Amino acid sequence: MAIGGSGAPWAAHMEELVLVRHGESLGNVADAKARDRGEARLELDTRDPDTPLSERGEQQALVLARHVAGTSPRPDVVLSSPYARAAMTARIVAGALDLEPLLDERLRERDLGIFDGLTGLGIREHHPEEAERRARLGKFYYRPPGGESWTDVALRVRDVLRDLAQLYADQRVWVFTHQAVIMSFRLALEGLDEATLLDVDRTQPLANCSLTRYRREGQVLELAAFADTAYLDTSEVETTHEDTAAEASDRSATHDHELRPGLHHELHHELHGERTT
- pLDDT at position 250, please? 58
Tens digits of per-residue pLDDT, 221-238? 999 999 999 999 999 999
Tens digits of per-residue pLDDT, 108-166? 999 999 999 999 999 999 999 999 999 999 999 999 999 999 999 999 999 999 999 99
Instruction: Using the predicted structure, report yes or no on whether residue 270 has a pLDDT greater than 60.
Output: no
Q: Output 240 or 257, whichever has higher pLDDT.
A: 240
Instruction: Using the predicted structure, report yes or no on whether residue 192 has a pLDDT greater than 80.
Output: yes
Instruction: Using the predicted structure, report yes or no on whether residue 34 has a pLDDT greater than 70.
Output: yes
- pLDDT at position 248, please? 62
- pLDDT at position 189, please? 95
Q: Are 139 and 270 in contact (CB under 8 A)?
A: yes
Instruction: Write out the CATH class of domain 9-272.
Output: alpha beta
- pLDDT at position 256, please? 46
The domain limits of the chain are 9-272
